[in-house]
Structure 1
Amino acid sequence: MTVGVLFLHGFSGGPYEIQPFANYIKENTTWVIKTPTFLGHGDADALAMEGYKAEHWLMDAEIAYRKLAKQVDEIIIVGFSMGGVMAMYLAKRYRVKKLVLLSAAAKYVSPSQLVKDIHTMADDAFHRKLKENELFRRYQHKFQNVPLSATIQFMKIVRKTEPYIGHITCPVFIVQGALDGIVPSVTAQMLYDKIPAKRKLLYISECGKHHICYSDDCDEWFSKALRFLLEL
Protein backbone atom coordinates (compact mmCIF):
# COMPACT_ATOMS: atom_id res chain seq x y z
CA MET A 1 0.00 0.00 0.00
CA THR A 2 1.74 3.16 -1.19
CA VAL A 3 1.01 6.47 0.50
CA GLY A 4 1.39 9.95 -0.92
CA VAL A 5 1.39 13.26 0.93
CA LEU A 6 0.23 16.39 -0.87
CA PHE A 7 1.46 19.62 0.77
CA LEU A 8 -0.49 22.77 -0.09
CA HIS A 9 1.10 26.14 0.73
CA GLY A 10 -0.60 29.40 1.63
CA PHE A 11 -1.78 32.53 -0.15
CA SER A 12 1.05 34.57 -1.69
CA GLY A 13 3.52 31.97 -0.41
CA GLY A 14 5.19 28.87 -1.73
CA PRO A 15 6.44 25.40 -0.75
CA TYR A 16 9.02 27.02 1.57
CA GLU A 17 6.16 27.64 4.03
CA ILE A 18 5.65 23.91 4.65
CA GLN A 19 9.11 22.64 3.66
CA PRO A 20 10.37 21.90 7.21
CA PHE A 21 7.42 19.57 7.86
CA ALA A 22 7.66 18.06 4.36
CA ASN A 23 11.35 17.32 4.98
CA TYR A 24 10.51 15.73 8.34
CA ILE A 25 7.91 13.43 6.78
CA LYS A 26 10.30 12.54 3.95
CA GLU A 27 13.10 11.68 6.39
CA ASN A 28 10.89 9.48 8.57
CA THR A 29 8.75 7.61 6.03
CA THR A 30 8.94 6.06 2.57
CA TRP A 31 5.93 8.06 1.41
CA VAL A 32 5.74 9.97 -1.87
CA ILE A 33 5.96 13.72 -1.11
CA LYS A 34 4.59 16.41 -3.43
CA THR A 35 4.83 20.18 -2.83
CA PRO A 36 3.26 21.94 -5.83
CA THR A 37 3.35 25.71 -6.35
CA PHE A 38 0.13 27.53 -7.22
CA LEU A 39 0.08 29.81 -10.26
CA GLY A 40 1.55 33.23 -9.55
CA HIS A 41 3.03 32.05 -6.26
CA GLY A 42 6.52 31.01 -5.20
CA ASP A 43 9.44 32.69 -3.49
CA ALA A 44 8.51 36.01 -1.89
CA ASP A 45 10.66 38.06 -4.28
CA ALA A 46 9.26 36.37 -7.39
CA LEU A 47 5.48 36.69 -6.95
CA ALA A 48 3.45 37.35 -10.12
CA MET A 49 -0.15 37.09 -8.92
CA GLU A 50 -1.87 39.65 -11.14
CA GLY A 51 -4.67 38.12 -13.22
CA TYR A 52 -4.97 34.80 -11.40
CA LYS A 53 -8.26 33.82 -9.84
CA ALA A 54 -9.53 31.50 -7.13
CA GLU A 55 -10.51 28.98 -9.80
CA HIS A 56 -6.89 28.77 -11.02
CA TRP A 57 -5.59 27.88 -7.56
CA LEU A 58 -8.36 25.39 -6.81
CA MET A 59 -7.67 23.73 -10.15
CA ASP A 60 -3.94 23.64 -9.35
CA ALA A 61 -4.78 21.73 -6.18
CA GLU A 62 -7.10 19.32 -8.01
CA ILE A 63 -4.53 18.64 -10.73
CA ALA A 64 -1.85 17.97 -8.12
CA TYR A 65 -4.19 15.55 -6.33
CA ARG A 66 -5.06 13.69 -9.54
CA LYS A 67 -1.40 13.36 -10.55
CA LEU A 68 -0.48 11.98 -7.14
CA ALA A 69 -3.49 9.63 -7.17
CA LYS A 70 -2.01 7.95 -10.25
CA GLN A 71 1.16 7.11 -8.28
CA VAL A 72 -0.16 5.99 -4.91
CA ASP A 73 -2.97 4.04 -3.24
CA GLU A 74 -3.76 6.50 -0.45
CA ILE A 75 -3.38 10.27 -0.16
CA ILE A 76 -2.79 12.43 2.91
CA ILE A 77 -3.16 16.19 2.50
CA VAL A 78 -1.28 18.77 4.55
CA GLY A 79 -2.59 22.29 4.06
CA PHE A 80 -1.12 25.53 5.42
CA SER A 81 -3.23 28.70 5.71
CA MET A 82 -5.08 29.02 2.37
CA GLY A 83 -3.80 25.53 1.61
CA GLY A 84 -5.68 24.35 4.69
CA VAL A 85 -9.07 25.43 3.38
CA MET A 86 -8.15 24.03 -0.04
CA ALA A 87 -7.29 20.73 1.66
CA MET A 88 -10.83 20.59 3.03
CA TYR A 89 -12.14 21.39 -0.46
CA LEU A 90 -10.27 18.37 -1.83
CA ALA A 91 -11.34 16.14 1.08
CA LYS A 92 -14.99 16.90 0.28
CA ARG A 93 -14.57 16.10 -3.42
CA TYR A 94 -12.02 13.26 -3.42
CA ARG A 95 -10.90 10.28 -1.39
CA VAL A 96 -8.46 11.48 1.29
CA LYS A 97 -7.02 9.24 4.00
CA LYS A 98 -6.15 11.98 6.52
CA LEU A 99 -5.82 15.75 6.78
CA VAL A 100 -3.31 17.95 8.59
CA LEU A 101 -4.52 21.56 8.82
CA LEU A 102 -1.82 24.11 9.69
CA SER A 103 -2.96 27.66 10.52
CA ALA A 104 -5.93 26.94 8.27
CA ALA A 105 -7.39 30.24 7.08
CA ALA A 106 -11.07 29.51 7.71
CA LYS A 107 -11.05 32.92 9.40
CA TYR A 108 -8.63 35.68 8.47
CA VAL A 109 -6.66 38.28 10.46
CA SER A 110 -6.50 38.44 14.23
CA PRO A 111 -6.78 42.19 14.98
CA SER A 112 -5.40 42.04 18.53
CA GLN A 113 -2.32 39.99 17.61
CA LEU A 114 -1.77 41.99 14.42
CA VAL A 115 -1.73 45.22 16.44
CA LYS A 116 0.88 43.72 18.77
CA ASP A 117 3.01 42.66 15.79
CA ILE A 118 2.73 46.12 14.19
CA HIS A 119 3.75 47.77 17.48
CA THR A 120 6.76 45.46 17.65
CA MET A 121 7.74 46.33 14.09
CA ALA A 122 7.30 50.05 14.84
CA ASP A 123 9.50 49.74 17.91
CA ASP A 124 12.13 47.87 15.92
CA ALA A 125 11.96 50.51 13.20
CA PHE A 126 12.46 53.27 15.81
CA HIS A 127 15.55 51.46 17.10
CA ARG A 128 16.72 50.80 13.52
CA LYS A 129 16.38 47.04 13.96
CA LEU A 130 13.50 46.50 11.51
CA LYS A 131 15.59 44.28 9.23
CA GLU A 132 16.11 41.96 12.19
CA ASN A 133 12.36 41.61 12.75
CA GLU A 134 11.31 38.13 11.62
CA LEU A 135 7.75 39.14 10.69
CA PHE A 136 8.93 42.11 8.64
CA ARG A 137 11.51 40.01 6.78
CA ARG A 138 8.88 37.39 5.97
CA TYR A 139 6.32 39.87 4.66
CA GLN A 140 8.21 42.82 3.21
CA HIS A 141 8.17 41.52 -0.37
CA LYS A 142 4.52 40.47 -0.07
CA PHE A 143 3.49 43.97 0.99
CA GLN A 144 4.88 45.24 -2.32
CA ASN A 145 3.93 42.40 -4.67
CA VAL A 146 0.45 41.13 -3.73
CA PRO A 147 -2.27 43.02 -5.67
CA LEU A 148 -5.64 43.71 -4.05
CA SER A 149 -7.34 41.65 -6.76
CA ALA A 150 -5.41 38.57 -5.62
CA THR A 151 -6.44 39.13 -2.00
CA ILE A 152 -10.08 39.31 -3.11
CA GLN A 153 -9.64 35.97 -4.91
CA PHE A 154 -8.17 34.47 -1.74
CA MET A 155 -11.22 35.59 0.25
CA LYS A 156 -13.39 34.00 -2.43
CA ILE A 157 -11.73 30.64 -1.70
CA VAL A 158 -12.35 31.05 2.03
CA ARG A 159 -16.05 31.78 1.40
CA LYS A 160 -16.42 28.97 -1.13
CA THR A 161 -14.93 26.32 1.15
CA GLU A 162 -16.66 27.37 4.39
CA PRO A 163 -19.65 25.02 3.84
CA TYR A 164 -17.23 22.10 3.35
CA ILE A 165 -16.12 22.19 6.99
CA GLY A 166 -19.21 20.31 8.12
CA HIS A 167 -18.59 17.49 5.65
CA ILE A 168 -15.06 16.42 6.60
CA THR A 169 -15.19 12.83 7.87
CA CYS A 170 -11.59 11.66 7.45
CA PRO A 171 -9.23 11.90 10.48
CA VAL A 172 -7.91 15.44 11.02
CA PHE A 173 -4.92 16.86 12.93
CA ILE A 174 -5.22 20.63 13.50
CA VAL A 175 -2.24 22.82 14.41
CA GLN A 176 -2.52 26.50 15.32
CA GLY A 177 -0.20 29.12 16.76
CA ALA A 178 -1.55 31.04 19.75
CA LEU A 179 0.35 34.14 18.53
CA ASP A 180 -0.90 33.98 14.93
CA GLY A 181 -1.63 37.51 13.71
CA ILE A 182 -3.04 36.36 10.37
CA VAL A 183 -5.44 33.57 11.31
CA PRO A 184 -7.12 34.11 14.71
CA SER A 185 -6.12 31.35 17.12
CA VAL A 186 -9.81 30.67 17.88
CA THR A 187 -10.14 29.40 14.30
CA ALA A 188 -8.58 26.08 15.25
CA GLN A 189 -11.14 25.44 17.99
CA MET A 190 -13.93 26.42 15.59
CA LEU A 191 -12.66 23.89 13.06
CA TYR A 192 -12.29 21.22 15.73
CA ASP A 193 -15.88 21.80 16.87
CA LYS A 194 -17.45 21.94 13.39
CA ILE A 195 -15.57 19.13 11.64
CA PRO A 196 -17.65 15.96 12.19
CA ALA A 197 -14.75 13.50 11.84
CA LYS A 198 -14.72 10.84 14.57
CA ARG A 199 -10.92 11.04 14.88
CA LYS A 200 -9.55 14.56 15.31
CA LEU A 201 -6.78 16.15 17.33
CA LEU A 202 -5.96 19.78 18.12
CA TYR A 203 -2.48 21.12 18.94
CA ILE A 204 -2.08 24.74 20.04
CA SER A 205 1.48 26.05 19.90
CA GLU A 206 1.80 28.64 22.66
CA CYS A 207 4.85 30.17 20.96
CA GLY A 208 3.69 29.70 17.37
CA LYS A 209 2.85 32.51 14.94
CA HIS A 210 1.33 32.13 11.48
CA HIS A 211 4.24 30.28 9.87
CA ILE A 212 3.76 27.37 12.21
CA CYS A 213 6.29 25.10 10.47
CA TYR A 214 8.98 27.47 11.79
CA SER A 215 7.72 27.63 15.39
CA ASP A 216 10.19 26.96 18.20
CA ASP A 217 8.17 23.89 19.20
CA CYS A 218 7.78 22.50 15.69
CA ASP A 219 9.79 19.36 16.53
CA GLU A 220 7.19 18.52 19.16
CA TRP A 221 4.17 18.83 16.93
CA PHE A 222 5.98 17.32 13.93
CA SER A 223 6.37 14.09 15.89
CA LYS A 224 2.78 14.18 17.18
CA ALA A 225 1.46 14.74 13.66
CA LEU A 226 3.54 11.89 12.26
CA ARG A 227 2.28 9.49 14.95
CA PHE A 228 -1.25 10.54 14.03
CA LEU A 229 -0.59 9.89 10.35
CA LEU A 230 0.95 6.47 11.05
CA GLU A 231 -2.07 5.28 13.03
CA LEU A 232 -4.09 2.60 11.25
Structure 2
Amino acid sequence: MRILPGFEPFSFQGKGDEGVLLIHGFTGSTTSIREWGEYLAKSGYHVESPRLSGHGTRWQDVNRYRVEDWLLDVEDAYHLLKSRVRTMYVAGLSMGGLLALAMAEEHPEIKAIVLVNHALEFYPHPLLPLVPILRFVLPSVPAISSDIKDPNIREIAYDRTPVNGVYQVRRLQKMVSERLSQITQPLLIFKSREDHVLPVSNVEKTISRVSSSVKEVIWLENSYHVATQDYDKHIIFERSVEFLKRIGGHHG
Protein backbone atom coordinates (compact mmCIF):
# COMPACT_ATOMS: atom_id res chain seq x y z
CA MET A 1 0.00 0.00 0.00
CA ARG A 2 1.46 3.31 -1.10
CA ILE A 3 1.41 6.08 1.48
CA LEU A 4 1.01 9.62 0.16
CA PRO A 5 3.94 12.00 0.81
CA GLY A 6 3.59 13.82 4.12
CA PHE A 7 1.49 11.15 5.83
CA GLU A 8 4.36 8.87 6.83
CA PRO A 9 4.78 8.00 10.52
CA PHE A 10 7.96 9.31 12.10
CA SER A 11 10.24 8.35 14.95
CA PHE A 12 12.99 10.55 16.42
CA GLN A 13 15.74 9.59 18.81
CA GLY A 14 16.24 11.76 21.87
CA LYS A 15 19.13 12.06 24.28
CA GLY A 16 17.58 11.04 27.58
CA ASP A 17 15.01 8.57 28.86
CA GLU A 18 11.84 10.62 28.26
CA GLY A 19 9.53 10.25 25.29
CA VAL A 20 6.56 12.00 23.70
CA LEU A 21 3.81 10.18 21.81
CA LEU A 22 2.66 12.76 19.24
CA ILE A 23 -0.66 12.29 17.42
CA HIS A 24 -2.05 13.97 14.28
CA GLY A 25 -5.65 14.93 13.62
CA PHE A 26 -8.67 13.61 11.70
CA THR A 27 -8.12 13.61 7.90
CA GLY A 28 -4.78 15.32 8.59
CA SER A 29 -1.20 14.13 8.29
CA THR A 30 1.90 13.72 10.38
CA THR A 31 3.36 16.73 8.52
CA SER A 32 1.10 18.95 10.65
CA ILE A 33 3.05 17.94 13.77
CA ARG A 34 6.42 16.94 12.31
CA GLU A 35 8.15 20.27 13.04
CA TRP A 36 6.87 20.06 16.60
CA GLY A 37 8.30 16.56 16.82
CA GLU A 38 11.65 17.75 15.51
CA TYR A 39 11.74 20.50 18.14
CA LEU A 40 10.94 17.98 20.90
CA ALA A 41 13.72 15.69 19.67
CA LYS A 42 16.23 18.55 19.56
CA SER A 43 15.19 19.29 23.15
CA GLY A 44 16.18 15.76 24.16
CA TYR A 45 12.92 13.81 23.89
CA HIS A 46 12.37 10.58 22.01
CA VAL A 47 9.33 11.01 19.74
CA GLU A 48 6.95 8.54 18.14
CA SER A 49 4.18 9.67 15.78
CA PRO A 50 1.98 7.04 14.11
CA ARG A 51 -0.06 7.32 10.92
CA LEU A 52 -3.70 6.75 11.85
CA SER A 53 -5.54 4.04 9.91
CA GLY A 54 -7.21 5.26 6.72
CA HIS A 55 -4.97 8.30 6.48
CA GLY A 56 -2.37 8.79 3.77
CA THR A 57 -4.06 6.75 1.03
CA ARG A 58 -7.45 8.16 -0.05
CA TRP A 59 -10.25 9.74 1.95
CA GLN A 60 -12.60 6.81 1.25
CA ASP A 61 -10.34 4.59 3.36
CA VAL A 62 -11.15 6.52 6.54
CA ASN A 63 -14.75 5.27 6.23
CA ARG A 64 -13.46 1.68 6.53
CA TYR A 65 -12.06 2.14 10.04
CA ARG A 66 -13.44 2.54 13.54
CA VAL A 67 -12.24 4.46 16.56
CA GLU A 68 -10.92 1.18 17.97
CA ASP A 69 -8.47 1.00 15.06
CA TRP A 70 -7.12 4.49 15.80
CA LEU A 71 -6.75 3.58 19.46
CA LEU A 72 -4.76 0.50 18.43
CA ASP A 73 -2.55 2.67 16.21
CA VAL A 74 -1.60 4.95 19.10
CA GLU A 75 -1.35 2.02 21.52
CA ASP A 76 1.18 0.32 19.23
CA ALA A 77 3.21 3.53 18.96
CA TYR A 78 2.99 3.98 22.73
CA HIS A 79 4.52 0.57 23.40
CA LEU A 80 7.18 1.12 20.75
CA LEU A 81 8.20 4.33 22.47
CA LYS A 82 7.88 2.86 25.94
CA SER A 83 10.43 0.18 25.02
CA ARG A 84 13.15 2.83 24.87
CA VAL A 85 12.20 5.38 27.54
CA ARG A 86 11.28 5.41 31.23
CA THR A 87 9.02 8.46 31.28
CA MET A 88 6.15 8.94 28.83
CA TYR A 89 4.23 12.03 27.76
CA VAL A 90 1.42 12.32 25.24
CA ALA A 91 0.51 15.22 22.95
CA GLY A 92 -1.78 15.80 20.01
CA LEU A 93 -3.45 18.17 17.58
CA SER A 94 -7.24 18.23 17.10
CA MET A 95 -8.50 14.62 17.15
CA GLY A 96 -4.93 13.71 18.03
CA GLY A 97 -5.50 15.63 21.25
CA LEU A 98 -8.67 13.62 21.86
CA LEU A 99 -6.68 10.40 21.36
CA ALA A 100 -4.04 11.79 23.73
CA LEU A 101 -6.72 12.18 26.41
CA ALA A 102 -7.92 8.64 25.73
CA MET A 103 -4.38 7.33 26.21
CA ALA A 104 -3.98 9.28 29.45
CA GLU A 105 -7.25 7.79 30.72
CA GLU A 106 -6.06 4.29 29.83
CA HIS A 107 -2.47 4.72 31.03
CA PRO A 108 -2.17 6.60 34.34
CA GLU A 109 1.62 6.11 34.13
CA ILE A 110 1.70 8.75 31.39
CA LYS A 111 3.24 11.71 33.18
CA ALA A 112 1.69 14.72 31.36
CA ILE A 113 -0.59 15.73 28.50
CA VAL A 114 -0.25 18.54 25.93
CA LEU A 115 -3.21 19.42 23.69
CA VAL A 116 -3.50 21.77 20.72
CA ASN A 117 -7.05 22.71 19.65
CA HIS A 118 -8.35 19.32 20.80
CA ALA A 119 -11.58 17.84 19.52
CA LEU A 120 -13.62 17.19 22.66
CA GLU A 121 -16.74 18.56 20.95
CA PHE A 122 -17.65 19.93 17.52
CA TYR A 123 -19.36 23.22 16.78
CA PRO A 124 -23.15 22.70 16.96
CA HIS A 125 -24.54 21.77 13.54
CA PRO A 126 -28.09 20.65 12.62
CA LEU A 127 -26.77 17.62 10.70
CA LEU A 128 -24.55 16.28 13.49
CA PRO A 129 -27.35 14.33 15.23
CA LEU A 130 -28.10 12.69 11.86
CA VAL A 131 -24.55 11.47 11.26
CA PRO A 132 -25.29 7.91 12.53
CA ILE A 133 -27.80 7.58 9.65
CA LEU A 134 -26.17 9.89 7.08
CA ARG A 135 -22.98 7.83 7.08
CA PHE A 136 -24.82 5.05 5.24
CA VAL A 137 -25.99 7.27 2.38
CA LEU A 138 -23.50 10.17 2.29
CA PRO A 139 -19.84 9.12 1.96
CA SER A 140 -18.31 12.57 2.46
CA VAL A 141 -18.80 16.31 2.87
CA PRO A 142 -16.47 19.24 2.04
CA ALA A 143 -13.09 19.22 3.75
CA ILE A 144 -12.35 20.82 7.12
CA SER A 145 -8.60 20.87 6.46
CA SER A 146 -6.02 23.66 6.21
CA ASP A 147 -7.59 26.13 8.62
CA ILE A 148 -4.35 28.14 8.77
CA LYS A 149 -4.01 31.91 9.05
CA ASP A 150 -0.61 32.06 7.34
CA PRO A 151 -1.43 32.28 3.60
CA ASN A 152 1.92 30.74 2.67
CA ILE A 153 1.21 27.44 4.45
CA ARG A 154 -1.06 24.66 3.26
CA GLU A 155 -1.87 21.62 5.37
CA ILE A 156 -1.28 18.21 3.83
CA ALA A 157 -4.68 16.60 4.38
CA TYR A 158 -7.63 15.00 2.61
CA ASP A 159 -9.81 17.19 0.40
CA ARG A 160 -13.02 15.55 1.66
CA THR A 161 -14.35 14.78 5.14
CA PRO A 162 -15.54 11.14 5.41
CA VAL A 163 -18.90 10.97 7.15
CA ASN A 164 -18.42 7.59 8.81
CA GLY A 165 -15.13 9.01 10.07
CA VAL A 166 -17.05 11.87 11.68
CA TYR A 167 -19.30 9.29 13.33
CA GLN A 168 -16.22 7.55 14.74
CA VAL A 169 -14.86 10.83 16.10
CA ARG A 170 -18.22 11.40 17.78
CA ARG A 171 -17.95 7.97 19.38
CA LEU A 172 -14.47 8.82 20.62
CA GLN A 173 -15.69 12.15 22.01
CA LYS A 174 -18.33 10.33 24.04
CA MET A 175 -15.86 7.70 25.29
CA VAL A 176 -13.30 10.29 26.38
CA SER A 177 -15.85 12.68 27.90
CA GLU A 178 -17.31 9.97 30.11
CA ARG A 179 -13.88 9.30 31.67
CA LEU A 180 -12.40 12.81 31.88
CA SER A 181 -12.59 12.84 35.66
CA GLN A 182 -10.12 9.91 35.71
CA ILE A 183 -7.38 12.14 34.32
CA THR A 184 -5.02 13.31 37.05
CA GLN A 185 -1.90 14.07 34.99
CA PRO A 186 -0.62 17.64 34.54
CA LEU A 187 -2.37 19.14 31.53
CA LEU A 188 -1.38 21.94 29.15
CA ILE A 189 -3.88 23.17 26.55
CA PHE A 190 -3.06 25.46 23.64
CA LYS A 191 -6.16 27.02 22.09
CA SER A 192 -6.51 29.40 19.16
CA ARG A 193 -8.84 32.31 19.89
CA GLU A 194 -10.05 32.00 16.28
CA ASP A 195 -10.54 28.36 15.37
CA HIS A 196 -12.98 27.66 12.53
CA VAL A 197 -13.02 23.90 13.13
CA LEU A 198 -13.47 23.42 16.90
CA PRO A 199 -15.03 25.71 19.53
CA VAL A 200 -13.16 27.47 22.34
CA SER A 201 -15.69 25.96 24.76
CA ASN A 202 -13.66 22.74 24.59
CA VAL A 203 -11.10 24.37 26.89
CA GLU A 204 -13.43 25.08 29.80
CA LYS A 205 -15.28 21.78 29.39
CA THR A 206 -11.99 19.91 29.66
CA ILE A 207 -10.42 21.98 32.43
CA SER A 208 -13.54 21.79 34.59
CA ARG A 209 -13.89 18.01 34.34
CA VAL A 210 -10.38 16.58 34.65
CA SER A 211 -9.00 15.86 38.12
CA SER A 212 -5.51 17.20 37.38
CA SER A 213 -3.99 19.50 39.98
CA VAL A 214 -1.89 21.18 37.26
CA LYS A 215 -4.10 22.62 34.49
CA GLU A 216 -2.72 25.34 32.26
CA VAL A 217 -4.12 27.11 29.19
CA ILE A 218 -2.16 29.15 26.67
CA TRP A 219 -4.26 31.18 24.24
CA LEU A 220 -2.95 31.57 20.71
CA GLU A 221 -3.78 34.98 19.29
CA ASN A 222 -2.44 34.68 15.74
CA SER A 223 -3.32 31.18 14.52
CA TYR A 224 -6.33 29.21 13.33
CA HIS A 225 -7.00 25.50 13.87
CA VAL A 226 -3.78 23.93 12.57
CA ALA A 227 -1.74 26.06 14.95
CA THR A 228 1.25 23.72 14.84
CA GLN A 229 1.89 25.01 11.29
CA ASP A 230 0.68 28.57 11.81
CA TYR A 231 2.12 31.87 13.06
CA ASP A 232 2.09 30.75 16.72
CA LYS A 233 3.80 27.40 16.18
CA HIS A 234 6.97 28.41 18.02
CA ILE A 235 4.91 29.34 21.07
CA ILE A 236 3.60 25.77 21.05
CA PHE A 237 7.04 24.26 20.53
CA GLU A 238 8.82 26.31 23.20
CA ARG A 239 6.11 26.37 25.85
CA SER A 240 5.37 22.66 25.55
CA VAL A 241 9.04 21.84 26.16
CA GLU A 242 9.14 24.26 29.10
CA PHE A 243 6.07 22.53 30.54
CA LEU A 244 7.45 19.01 30.10
CA LYS A 245 10.80 19.95 31.62
CA ARG A 246 9.05 21.51 34.58
CA ILE A 247 6.96 18.37 35.09
CA GLY A 248 9.68 15.83 34.43
CA GLY A 249 12.88 17.57 35.45
CA HIS A 250 15.48 19.26 33.31
CA HIS A 251 17.57 17.18 30.91
CA GLY A 252 21.21 16.84 31.74
Q: Quickly name the TM-score band, shorter chain normalised.
A: 0.7 to 0.9
Corresponding residue number in structure 2 for 1:34: 48
Contact in 1 for aligned 2:28/2:157 (Cα 8 Å): no
TM-score, normalised relative to structure 2? 0.75
Which secondary structure does the structure 2 equivalent of 1:72 belong to? coil
Shift of 1:20: 2.1
Contact in 2 for aligned 1:82/1:158 (Cα 8 Å): no
Q: How far does the alpha carbon of each residue in 1:50-91 deviate from its partner, in whole angstroms, 9 at most, with x for none?
A: 311111111111111122111110111011111111111111
Shift of 1:21: 1.3
Q: 1:73 to 1:41 in 2, by over 3 A?
A: same
Q: Give the unaligned 5+ runs of structure 1.
A: 112-132
Percent identical among aligned pairs is 24
**Alpha-carbon distance in structure 2 between the residues aligned to 1:20 and 1:139:** 13
Judging by fraction of residues, say which structure has more helix: 1
Contact in 1 for aligned 2:32/2:155 (Cα 8 Å): no
Corresponding residue number in structure 2 for 1:89: 102
CA-based RMSD of the aligned residues comes to: 2.4
Quick one: which of 121, 127, 150 aligns to 1:107? Answer: 121
Which secondary structure does the structure 1 equivalent of 2:20 belong to? strand
Bigger mean CA offset, 176-185 vs 14-23: 14-23
**Alpha-carbon distance in structure 2 between the residues aligned to 1:137 and 1:21:** 16
**Alpha-carbon distance in structure 1 between the residues aligned to 2:50 and 2:211:** 28
**Alpha-carbon distance in structure 1 between the residues aligned to 2:156 and 2:83:** 36
Which secondary structure does the structure 2 equivalent of 1:194 belong to? coil
TM-score, normalised relative to structure 1? 0.81
Corresponding residue number in structure 1 for 2:66: 53
**Alpha-carbon distance in structure 2 between the residues aligned to 1:80 and 1:47:** 22
Contact in 1 for aligned 2:23/2:50 (Cα 8 Å): yes
**Alpha-carbon distance in structure 2 between the residues aligned to 1:147 and 1:171:** 33
Corresponding residue number in structure 2 for 1:142: 159
Residue identity in the other structure for 1:207: N
Corresponding residue number in structure 2 for 1:153: 168
Q: Give the unaligned 5+ runs of structure 2.
A: 1-15, 126-149
Shift of 1:147: 2.5
Contact in 1 for aligned 2:24/2:95 (Cα 8 Å): yes
Aligned ranges 1:1-232 → 2 under 5 Å: 2-27=17-42, 29-42=43-56, 48-94=61-107, 95-109=109-123, 134=151, 138=155, 141-143=158-160, 146-231=161-246, 232=249
